[in-house]
Amino acid sequence: MFPIVEAKPLAAAVKQFKIAAPEIAKKRKPGQFIVLRINEEGERIPLTMADADPEAGTITLIFQELGKSTEQLGKLKAGDMISDLIGPLGVPTHIEKFGTVVCVGGGIGIAPVYPIAKAMREAGNTVLSIIGARTKNLLILEEEMAKVSHSLKVSTDDGSYGYHGFVSDILQNVIDEGTTINLVVAIGPVPMMRVICNVTRNQKIKTVVSLNPIMVDATGMCGACRVTVGGRTRFVCVDGPEFDGHEVNFVELVKRQRAYLDQEKLSLETFRHQGGACLGGKS
């Protein structure tokens, strides 16, 4: 069992948890993720680690309540226990001195971008960050990102804060201004990553994206998370989660992510119907 040490809201339907997992906290590197299972009936859900504190023995998870499992997770408080936590999983982000690195985070994708931006800066890169959300109250980690970036630009889709538009528009502007970019790291919703890759493709700017397809075991055993990269089938859980964005088949990825929409809806409705009170309950 893994105790939740701290649980706080970050934005609308976005929570930040610190969970005691000393062994994982010591090992975790930027780009890596964990799989958790809330309780006996729970599914195995992958979440990227936004941070870790090896001394305190905690890892930081930031998640958006989107379906049953995340909503149920969001109802937990400090002191509650999570049944299973597996990690660190996935290949860590390749960190080296590239020169100028643009870190792009969209919505909840800002959470996994944050440790990467931090590590890129520590490796001596000039870090230009662009973060965005649909609307102001969904924007997270602005202060933290500002601290680790040489410059930070912010956008909202509805114009309620920062630049009115998309993170891809800002990136386009940065490119148009003639800034030399050695690497772009983009994490966010699939459509966002796809557009970012379209922006950088013409300029031949290497672009790394972090994918979050449906997973089950997340150790290379089931193949649920397969994605076509450069015409080859890869498993995101062990080969990724990061890939060359110019090679990813995003169309297929979107379709695969939607595979269980009906069941996910049913699951969430059932959960809400029971007042969200079936935590750890046995029927």
Measured from the CB atom, is 99 or 223 closer to other proteins?
223
Confirm or reject binding of residue 85 to other proteins (CB under 8 A): yes
236 closest CA partner among 213, 259, 207, 206: 213
Measured from the CB atom, is 94 or 258 closer to other proteins?
258
Measured from the CB atom, is 68 or 153 closer to other proteins?
68
52 closest CA partner among 10, 15, 18, 94: 18
Phi, psi of 91 (to 5 degrees): -80, 130
Q: Which two tokens stand for residue 244?
A: 């060359």
Residues whose CB is less than 8 angstroms from the CB of residue 48 and which lie 6 or more positions away in sequence, other chains included:
31, 32, 33, 61, 111, 112, 210, 212, 241
Q: Are 163 and 157 in contact (CB under 8 A)?
A: no
Pick the piece of the chain touching other proteins (CB under 8 A) from 3-11, 55-63, 137-145, 217-225. 217-225
User: Least distance in Å: CB of 62 to other proteins?
Assistant: 21
Q: What is the dihedral of CA 182, 47, 71, 41, to 10 degrees?
A: 160
Confirm or reject binding of residue 266 to other proteins (CB under 8 A): yes
Confirm or reject binding of residue 258 to other proteins (CB under 8 A): yes
Confirm or reject binding of residue 89 to other proteins (CB under 8 A): yes
Residue 211: count of CB within 10 angstroms of its CB: 21
Of the residues 15, 121, 194, 226, which one makes contact with other proteins according to CB under 8 A: 226
Measured from the CB atom, is 18 or 234 closer to other proteins?
234
User: Least distance in Å: CB of 2 to other proteins?
Assistant: 9
Pick the piece of the chain touching other proteins (CB under 8 A) from 6-14, 97-105, 240-248, 265-273. 265-273
Peptide bond between residue 88 and the one before it cis (omega within 30 degrees of 0): yes
Of the residues 84, 142, 157, 247, which one makes contact with other proteins according to CB under 8 A: 84
Of the residues 217, 246, 247, 276, which one makes contact with other proteins according to CB under 8 A: 217
User: Least distance in Å: CB of 266 to other proteins?
Assistant: 6
User: Least distance in Å: CB of 83 to other proteins?
Assistant: 7
Site for other proteins in 96-155 (CB under 8 A): none
- 113/188 Cα distance (integer angstroms): 9
Measured from the CB atom, is 17 or 166 closer to other proteins?
17
Site for other proteins in 21-80 (CB under 8 A): 23-24, 27, 37, 41-44, 68-69
Confirm or reject binding of residue 238 to other proteins (CB under 8 A): yes
Question: What does the per-residue mask of binding to other proteins show for 175-194, with x meaning CB under 8 A?
Answer: --------------------
Question: Residues in the site for other proteins, rule: CB under 8 A?
Answer: 23-24, 27, 37, 41-44, 68-69, 83-89, 216-217, 219-224, 226-228, 233, 238, 252, 255-256, 258-260, 263-264, 266-267, 270, 283
